[in-house]
Structures are given as C-alpha cells and as structure tokens.
Copies of this chain bind each other. A is one copy, B any other.
Amino acid sequence: MTPIPHIVIVGGGFAGLWATRALASAPVRITLVDRHNHHLFQPLLYQVATAGLSAPDIAAPLRHILRRQKNVEVRMATVTTIDADTKSITLDDGTTIGFDFLLLASGATHAYFGNDQWAEHAPGLKTLDDALDLRRKLLFAFERAEATRDPAEREAWLSFAIVGGGPTGVELAGTLAEIARETLKDEFRNIDPSQARVRLIEAGPRVLAAFPEELSEKARRQLEHLGVEVALGTPVKDIAVDGYRLGDNFVPAKTVVWAAGVAASPLGAMLGVPLDRAGRVRVEPDLSIPGHPDIFVAGDLASLMQANGKPVPGVAPAAKQMGRLVARNIRARLAGEKTCTFAYKDYGNLATIGRMAAVVDLGKLRFSGILAWWFWLVMHVFFLIGFRNRLVVLLNWFWAYWSYQRAARIILGEDRDDPATERP
C-alpha cells in the first residue's frame, strides 16, 4: 500500500464527480477516469438533440471543474479491464493503475431488450455525440421531405416516432412537435412542417410511470395539446429503415428515436459480483460490493432497494447522494470507523413536456402547466454546472421563448460521413 491512499474513480458523471469533490480535503490522491473530457448535464441532453442548446452549453471540462482540487488527476481514457482481486484497472492506452479504493460510476447506456438490430434505425440518447447525431437526423428528415416529389416518401420523412414514455421520450416528443409546428413555420416551400406526425409510443399504460397517475394523465393531455399522438399500452414489435410495426400495423417512418430501455455500463460485469436483470451491480447498503469492501459502485450502475421496497431511481439527485456517501465511507474506512448505509432522500420529481408545460411531484405538492415549467426551468438552470453556462442557457431560452427559434439548428457531421457526394 502506498503511503497516501490512492482512490480511482471511474466516471465523471454526477456520482463520480460529487464523490471526487467530497474528497477534496481528504488525505488521499485521486485518479478520475472518464472516456470523455467533460462532465455532462444529462437532464438537458434532449435540448441539444432538439437544437435548443449547443453541446458546450451543457458540458464542462472535468479538468476545468477540478483544476483547484490538487489531489485529483484527471485521465481521459476508456477502462478496458477491472481486477477486483489485484485491485487494479487497465486503460485503453495500456496503462495499469492500482488502487486502494475504487468507485465504479460508469453509468448506463441504452438497451434494446434483445433487439440490438434496432439500434441502427432507432438511435438513443446518452452522450453529446448521440445528441448531435439525433439533431442531424431530425433536421435532415425535414430537408428530405422538402426535396422529394414522391408523396409516400414525403409522408415517411415527416413521420417521427419516439419509443418510450419516460421523461426523455416525453421531452423529445413535446419539443419535436413544437419545432414542427412553430420553429420551422414559413421556412419550407413544398411541405408544411406542421403536418409532421410525432408519435410517442409507450408499452405501458401511461407516460411518466414514475409519477402519480394524475400527473401522467396531465402530461398526456399536454402532449396531445402540443400535437403529439400518444400511443399507450402497445409495444413496438419491429423497427426497420423505413418504419416500425405497432400491433398489426406497419407505420412508415424514416425517423425513430429510442428512449425506452436503459442497460448498465458493461464495466459492472467485470467486478465478478451478482448483477440485476438490467446489468446493474447489486451493492451492499453502504454501496460497497459483496466481498470487496474497498470497491464501491454508485449512480445508475448501482442496484439497491430502499427501505420502502422500491429501487433507488436512476436520477441525478440519487447519483449525487450516492457519490457523496461513497466519499464519506472511504473517509470512514481510512479512519478505521464503520461505514454508513445509503438512504435516498427524495426531493421530488420533475419532467418537462414542451413549451411552458411540465409536471412537478413534490410528494404532497403536485402541479402541472406553466407554473411547473417555470419551476423546472429554475431548478435546471440552478443545478447546471458553471456560471457561464447558466447565463448562456438562460439567454438561449429567453430567445427561444420569445422567437420560437432554436439557436442550434445547424446540421453538422455531413462531411464526416462521406467526403464525396452521398449522404445518409
């Protein structure tokens, strides 16, 4: 063991970054590994996908956030193996790093429930690159609809489906409907963008299943008011390049977005301990893993039941709380004290739906509509990392609200796909 304990933290999301910060004054050295160079404010990722915000508006370089915390070294790298017994990880550049304590907080990715062939036709939304790809796909569909002279093809390009009625699906569907109806108004000559069909498909009986039933119902009505078709209780049966199958019907659609399933980061499986069905690591009440008290898992990768029998939800506040508890438990272990168990403190649940529409569930207090939207906006801007980002995001939103415009409606990456003439 080195004189100064070495803590390796994998993942610079909410769990990893909050744990890192909570160890600022601890007598340790920390290596924070992330495959990206930035912390991402994931709750606003759908705004980048729908061209409301630029990628840098919702991300900040990890190095910059942590520049004054001298006990941290940031490494931009991908973890290739984890060895719980020798207490070491290896990175994609070949480096092996030993640790005294490990926090694995590498989060989640999308899952297609055994239908991985759908990934090609129905991309998901987890990283900034996903968001930029999705932005290109959404904006490009209107370009193709405008260019074609074939009515059936035009209809297919103007047919959008979002699979999954959770917060991301609801946000995407509501915003896309607003873009079609308002933002793109007057800009096309051969199509009427407001005729675009935006369908939100949820296999379960209601949208926003984590919310009380009355708010789900309000969200559905607000979505329909924005022009979204909400299809409940019907799972998608197939997704192909030119459409999807819903029940017995094949619906032509060139643009399908996947917001339905989440699978844990594959790094969890390298720990050699039991996983739940979604691939998450079943952690002990103190967030360590069975048989390895020096290894912790936090955030979306951790699977833990609350005292009320419900799982800890995969949301940002839970990840932050877990990160902070891991930091506290590492300090306890270093001091020879007992670790604490995790208790999720639920401050409430918010989801936005579209222009001036949202739902808020604070336990006893539940509300929806304009007031909920303002509440959502203030909370999100408040929690956004970095002063400059907050200001730019607010400015973009005021501009978007006033003008119905979306600042980032730029199709990027066309050249990258093929430097010659073809496009997807």
Shortest Cβ distance from A95 into B: residue: B147
Complex: how many Å from CA A394 to CA B411?
23
Q: Which residue of B lies closest to A188 (CB)?
A: B63
Question: CB of A132 within 8 A of chain B?
Answer: yes
Report the bound CA distance from A220 to B153 in whole Å.
Answer: 57
Chain A residues within 8 Å of chain B by Cβ, number: 66
Stretch in A13-21, A49-57, A155-163 touching the partner: A49-57
Taking the full assembly, how many copies of this chain does it contain?
2
Name the one of B64, B395, B416 contacting A405, with C-beta atoms under 8 angstroms.
B64
Q: Give the residue among A92, A133, A187 with the most B Cβ atoms within 10 A.
A: A187
Give the chain B neighbours of A410 by CB distance below 8 A.
37-38, 55-56, 59, 61, 128
Contact of A76 among B74, B80, B143 (CB under 8 A): B143
Question: A188 CB to closest chain B CB, in angstroms?
Answer: 7
Q: Is A129 in contact with chain B by the CB < 8 A criterion?
A: yes
Write out, one digit per residue, whether chain A residues 240-275 have a CB within 8 A of any chain B CB (1) or not (0). 000000000000000000000000000000000000
Q: Name the B residues within 8 Å of A413 (CB-CB).
A: 129, 413, 416
A277 on the interface (CB 8 Å rule)?
no
A33-76 vs B, Cβ < 8 Å mask (1 yes, 0 no): 00111100000000000010011110101011001100011111
CA of A421 to CA of B143 in the docked complex: distance in angstroms? 34
Residues of B within 8 A of A128 (CB): 410, 412
Q: Across the interface, do B35 and A92 meet the contact criterion of CB distance under 8 Å?
A: no
Shortest CB-to-CB span from A151 to chain B, Å, is 16
A287 to chain B: closest CB distance in Å? Answer: 27
Taking CB as reference atom, which chain B residue is nearest A185? Answer: B67
- Residue of B at shortest CB range from A56? B408
Within 8 A of B (CB), among A144-180: 146-148
In the complex the two chains form, is A67's CB within 8 Å of B411's CB? no
Q: Which of the listed residues A61, A64, A129, A421 has the most CB atoms from chain B within 10 Å of its own CB?
A: A61
Tell me if A399 is interfacial: C-beta within 8 Å of chain B: yes
Query: Which of B57, B61, B75, B189 sits near A73, CB closer than 8 Å?
Result: B189
Given contacts A76-B147, A392-B396, contact A409 B127 (CB under 8 A): no
Q: Within the assembled complex, what's the spacing in Å between the Cα atoms of A72 and B92?
A: 51
Chain B CB within 8 A of A85 CB:
no
With a cutoff of 8 Å between Cβ atoms, the chain B residues found around residue A75 in the complex are: 146-147
Bound Cα distance from A168 to B144, whole angstroms = 35
Sorted from nearest, which 8 A-B pairs have the closest CB atoms? A54-B54, A56-B408, A63-B187, A129-B415, A37-B411, A92-B421, A67-B186, A76-B143
Beyond A54-B57, A54-B408, list 14 extra A-B contacts (CB 8 Å).
Answer: A37-B139, A37-B411, A56-B407, A67-B186, A68-B186, A73-B189, A74-B189, A75-B146, A76-B140, A76-B143, A92-B423, A128-B410, A128-B412, A391-B399
Question: Hey, which bits of chain A sit against chain B, CB under 8 A?
Answer: 35-38, 51, 54-57, 59, 61, 63-64, 67-68, 72-78, 80, 92-93, 95, 127-130, 132-133, 139-140, 143, 146-148, 184, 186-190, 388-389, 391-392, 395-396, 399, 403, 405, 407-416, 421-423
A-B contact pairs, 19 of them (CB 8 A): A36-B414, A37-B410, A55-B412, A61-B409, A61-B410, A64-B187, A64-B405, A64-B409, A67-B186, A73-B189, A73-B190, A77-B147, A129-B413, A129-B414, A129-B416, A388-B403, A392-B396, A413-B416, A416-B416
